[in-house]
Amino acid sequence: MLNINIRIADRYPLGDDDVRRLMSGTTLALTEAFAIDPETTVVRVEEADSGLWAVGGQPIGAVSNRATQIDIFLTKGSASPKQMKAAMAAMTDVVSTVFGGWVHDASTITIHEVASNMRSSYGAMAASSSDIKAVA
Q: What pLDDT, in 10s, does the model give residues 29-86?
A: 999 999 999 998 999 999 988 888 888 888 877 767 788 899 999 988 899 999 999 9
Got the DSSP string for the chain?
Answer: -EEEEEEEEESSPPPHHHHHHHHHHHHHHHHHHHT--GGGEEEEEEEEEGGG-EETTEEHHHH-SEEEEEEEEEETTSS-HHHHHHHHHHHHHHHHHHHTT---TT-EEEEEEE-TT-SS-EEEEEEEHHHHHHH-
Q: Evaluate if pTM is beyond 0.85.
A: no
81-116 tens-digit pLDDT: 999 999 999 999 998 888 876 677 788 899 998 877
The CATH number of whichever domain residue 32 belongs to comes to 3.30.429.10
Domain hosting 29: range is 2-135
CA distance 18 to 40: 22
Domain count across the chain: 1
